[in-house]
Structure 1
Amino acid sequence: MTFESLAALWLKTRKNKVSWTQYKNLRCYINHLNRYISNMDVAEIKPMDIDALLDALTDENPNTHRPASRQTLVNVRSTASRVFEYGIDIELIVRNPARGREISRYAPRHYRRALTIVEQKLIIATPHRARMGVLVMMLAGLRRGELIPLTWDDIDLDALKISITKSAESKGSNRLFVKEGTKTSWGRVVDIPLDLALELQKAKAVSMSKYVCPRVDGQMHTLMSWRRMWDSYITALCKVPGAEKTNIQEITAHYLRHTYATLLYISGVDVLTASKLLGHANIKTTMSIYTHLDDMLKAKSVDKLDSYLSSSLFTSSGQVRP
């Protein structure tokens, strides 16, 4: 059996077990694999073949004509490994040639940044119909797909908790469909800060919709209505005095979630608790974020040392001040 045939069989087993978006991503990763090993007999594929395709993608992603990011390479390798494990399960092959293959250390890493303090203050201070939803994403870590179907019944203001038990996803159309559970689990409960609860209480008192962040007519968003609202919101933020000194126009919904992760880190929340609050399927995801933030903090500490040495000990020529 060729790799392409085995991958197609495996993909069928995933169709009703993952979200439509995850399924679409899996098809994308398999397309990458099929470019290199589609016609090869799965029993003849060797670790060196997997290394070769990963190296080729490291040099250039055919879709973007730029080097593939480290995360893309990890996802392609993981998908290949899962296909081969399926081949082992159905007794077609006896080994997994993708298991443990190394990703180049030179593959570019793409990190979403957290919002600066200035940007966070702009979001808190700028009135807009998107503001409440943005605050929930920034201060409770909800994904866009978790926020869109969120109703006031999901929020317990007395207990300071939000129950995240459903999510909205597109299936290739403008309409969003609500499913039980979230991207990575059957749901989670998030403790919210008092300041967010007070904002929610004020918004609930004047809301005419059952949704926390609805479209103009009070109904749940479609893809198009969300995009129109988001574009309007970013435009409003850019007009606020002080916004010209920021990169607020590049903000996406996931920047807000990354800001929440950063706030958890800065507040000293341990990685296990943070992983549960963020709803990560694997604690390694949270660990990678915390490690990145830790590296950034160390770099800023060294910058402070540089500033001190330059201003206090050394002259501009590098000589020690008397």
Structure 2
Amino acid sequence: MDRLASYKKYQTKQGQKWLFKMDTGRNPLTGKRQTTTRRGFKTKKEAQAAALNLEQELTTGTLINNSNLTFNEVYKQWYADHSRTIKKSTQKTIQSKFNKHILPRFGNLKVKEINRAYCQKVINEIAATIKSVNDIKIQINQVFKYALKMDLINKNPLEHVSIPKEQKELLKDHYDLSEEERNYWTKKEIRQFLSITQAETSIRDQVLFHLLIYTGGRKGELLALTWDDIDFEVGSLRLGKTLFYDQGEYLFQTPKTKKSTRLISLDTSTLNSLKKLRKEQIEAKLAAFNSNNENRIVFTRGDGSPLRLAYPNEKLNILIKKHNLHRITIHGLRHTHASLLFEAGASIKEVQERLGHSDIKMTMNIYTHVTDYLKEQTAAKFQSYIEL
């Protein structure tokens, strides 16, 4: 379309100059029409030539829209679209990352003026404070990719920005086998821990930790278990939902991927533990079986409400500290299950299906970790034997 430009003479310290104003079309995010002003031309003829060149660039799409939107404004537009495609728990996580790490550093800056040097500086700063800097970088990149798609910028300033490594990371292999970094327990450590839970915790907590270790289920999956998920006759457990707490309400959600919905077999020991818990709840007429818990959730508090998502983490940390156990996380119990499955001779495919890994690379990472660790122990066993 023909764009009308207006020209004007103005006075500067260096003498008279010319400027022009031109309608550059609608802002793709706000829908409002916008104009651009170009100054500093010595003659009207120069201004007219520049205006003609600008019109050609706008017509052919070779000029990026002259938007003054801030990063925060672009983020809001991106999130409005993106939030429709993700679960509430993911929405909450993303908002937390932006509010805590990203918007304070990018929010008020014009998105078109953010450059690669500044992005690298920000990533370096975040990397110095948290380990999950790559997750933050992924979220920042989402906004820049959106801005690029909407013709608000002509290149992504986050491209080629690297994540710095700590010195100790540069000195070790990708799979660090050091005792400090080991986030799983050996068979001996598992037996010790289960003995402790038997002696010091409630039947509910005993069964919860037993399931975490014996099924490799995710914490959210197990806290969302209902009694109808367990088939005592067949000896199976259905995992197909997770528990999420939002604004004072507990919600069931579908898992991240289709692979996460799975039916797994249970051993006799695990079935007996679950039967024991169920029997105790029925005999005690706990709230788990009254109207406060219509979904008949397996792991509840005294009033029938689900356990807090943080509870297993807190309980595990208390027991580890009290008994000076090797420190692992709740996720480390899932890693433990996979590791012991491999040691017991399970195939990579079997472990992938049991753990609900959507990508076999996740399973392979654990497999490589375990086999490398076992190789390392071979030398130690030989030394121990020969020095007897």
Other-structure match for 1:319: none
1:247-283 Cα offsets, whole Å, 9 max, x none, are: 17x5653332232232233334444543443334544
> Which of 347, 351, 375 does residue 274 from structure 1 map onto?
351
Greater C-alpha radius of gyration: 2
Deviation at residue 181 of structure 1 after TM alignment? 0.9
Asked if residue 120 in structure 1 is aligned to residue 190 in structure 2, the reply is yes
Q: How does 1:143-154 map to 2 (within 5 A)?
A: 143-154=218-229
1:91-134 Cα offsets, whole Å, 9 max, x none, are: 43344333464323327779572134344224444162211122
1:16-39 Cα offsets, whole Å, 9 max, x none, are: 543444333322332423343333
Aligned alpha-carbon RMSD (Å): 3.7
Unaligned runs of 5+ in 1: 62-67, 313-322
Kindly provide the amino acid, as one letter, of the partner of residue 106 in structure 2.
Answer: I
Kindly provide the amino acid, as one letter, of the partner of residue 71 in structure 2.
Answer: F
Percentage of matched positions with identical amino acids: 24
Change (3 A) 1:25 1:180: closer
Kindly provide the amino acid, as one letter, of the partner of residue 228 in structure 2.
Answer: D
Deviation at residue 285 of structure 1 after TM alignment? 4.1
Kindly provide the amino acid, as one letter, of the partner of residue 252 in structure 2.
Answer: K
> Which of 70, 74, 81 does residue 2 from structure 1 map onto?
70
Other-structure match for 2:216: 141
> Which of 325, 329, 335 does residue 258 from structure 1 map onto?
335
Deviation at residue 76 of structure 1 after TM alignment? 1.1
Q: Distance in 2 between the 1:48 and 1:302 partners?
A: 48
Q: TM-score, length-normalised on structure 1?
A: 0.72
Q: Distance in 2 between the 1:87 and 1:123 partners?
A: 51
Deviation at residue 75 of structure 1 after TM alignment? 0.3
Other-structure match for 2:264: 191
Aligned 8 A contact 2:182 2:328 in 1: no
Aligned 8 A contact 1:150 1:212 in 2: yes
Q: Distance in 2 between the 1:168 and 1:14 partners?
A: 22
Asked if residue 36 in structure 1 is aligned to residue 111 in structure 2, the reply is no
Kindly provide the amino acid, as one letter, of the partner of residue 165 in structure 2.
Answer: R
Q: Distance in 2 between the 1:156 and 1:94 partners?
A: 57
Q: How does 1:138-177 map to 2 (within 5 A)?
A: 138-173=213-248, 175=249, 177=250
Q: Distance in 2 between the 1:74 and 1:232 partners?
A: 29
Aligned 8 A contact 1:149 1:220 in 2: no
Other-structure match for 1:212: 298
Q: Distance in 1 between the 2:384 and 2:163 partners?
A: 36
Q: Distance in 1 between the 2:352 and 2:115 partners?
A: 36
Aligned 8 A contact 2:184 2:328 in 1: no
The DSSP-based 3-state class of the residue aligned with 2:191 is: helix
Q: Distance in 2 between the 1:26 and 1:259 partners?
A: 29
> Which of 279, 297, 308 does residue 223 from structure 1 map onto?
308
Q: TM-score, length-normalised on structure 2?
A: 0.61
The DSSP-based 3-state class of the residue aligned with 2:185 is: coil
> Which of 251, 269, 283 does residue 178 from structure 1 map onto?
251
Higher relative contact order (CA 8 A, sep 6+): 1
Other-structure match for 1:57: 126
Deviation at residue 303 of structure 1 after TM alignment? 4.0
**Count of aligned pairs between the two proteins:** 291
Change (3 A) 1:149 1:271: same
Q: Distance in 1 between the 2:183 and 2:139 partners?
A: 27
